[in-house]
Amino acid sequence: MWDVAAEGWVDFVRTGKDYFRESLNNPATFRLIGSVKGKNVLDLACGEGYNTRILARKGAKVIGVDHSKRLIDLAEAEERKEQLGIRYYRIDATCLRGISDGFFDLVTCFMALQDIEDYEGAVAEVARVLKQDGRFVFSIPHPCFEKLVVNGVRVNAAERYFEKIKYPIEWNMERLRKHFRTVSFHRTLTDYSLALARSGFFISRLVEPRPTREAVRKHPQLRDELTRPQSIIFESIKRGTNR
């Protein structure tokens, strides 16, 4: 699906149409991440590399991985233009073959873990490739406030919160040059926290981003996010063996 969606996604991301990223989720996530200068960073499910490039511009030594060949091709094409030193690989998030144990200081996953069916396998691989006391920072749509599609009917996540639901997302907004469809997976906050705990992480911080008033003036569509969170960001730390 993401190979098919790639062209539409690139236009959406690179032309400023993804205002939830630009005005809500990225500012909050990068504040939580803090300085990455000189750090070894893995950007998991990096897509076409938009946020991977931000990490590299901030001084990180970055590897980006994604399952979509087309998205990785597009990321590599951009790297050839800007030459930030990013290495990209087409790898499944649940089997990071070729990446050594305990190599990274930080693993990021921007609004993508919800699209990975075997999220527990992905979290286990993140734990494997992180250094002791390394951080895993990821953002997901807030499970309490997702808009789900169940049997063709749009429902609020709160009505089916405790169910595990695979559902389609129709990317058909007017601002998109090309429409496409992807699939996502609704899980509870408990599901994510248990997956982290099983792989040796403890959750150090949670952030539920809110837009600034300036962002809402620029993008009135963000108004609802003043009163309820669209997303949630986890910061988790790989525990040392002596703890």
Q: Where residue 50 sits, what CATH number does that domain have?
A: 3.40.50.150
Name the token pair of 159.
């009505």
Indicate the average pLDDT of the chain.
Answer: 94
Give a yes or no: residue 175 inside a domain. Answer: no
State how far the Cα of 219 lies from the Cα of 138, in Å rounded to an integer: 24
Answer yes or no: is 58 within a domain: yes
> Is 100 among the domain residues?
yes
- Residue 35 within a domain: yes
Query: Can you say whether residue 45 is alpha, beta or left, with left for phi > 0 and alpha for psi between -120 and 50 degrees?
Result: left
Q: What is the pLDDT of residue 243?
A: 38
pLDDT at 116 over 80: yes
For residues 38 and 55, the answer to whether their CB atoms sit within 8 Å is no
Q: Indicate the pTM of the whole model.
A: 0.94
Nearest Cα to Cα of residue 185 among 146, 233, 225:
146
The answer as to whether 63 is a domain residue is: yes
Grouping H, G, I as helix, E, B as strand and the rest as coil, residue 104 is strand
Range of the domain at 135: 2-141+187-238
The number of folded domains in the chain is 1
Tell me the pLDDT band of 242, cut-offs 50, 70 and 90: very low
Query: What average pLDDT score do residues 53-67 get?
Result: 98
Say if 167 falls within a structural domain. no
Q: What pLDDT, on a 0 to 100 scale, did the predictor assign at position 240?
A: 60
> 6-40, pLDDT tens digit by residue?
999 999 999 889 999 999 999 999 999 999 999 99
Q: Which amino acid, one-letter code, is at 144?
A: C
Q: Domain for residue 180, yes or no?
A: no
Q: Is 217 within the bounds of a domain?
A: yes
Poorest-pLDDT segment among 15-19, 43-47, 111-115, 188-192: 15-19
State mean pLDDT over 176-189.
93
Q: So what's the pLDDT on residue 21?
A: 94
Q: What is the pLDDT of residues 69-110, one digit of tens each?
A: 999 999 999 999 999 999 999 999 999 999 999 999 999 999
151 vs 32, which has greater pLDDT?
32
The stretch 104-123 carries a mean pLDDT of 98
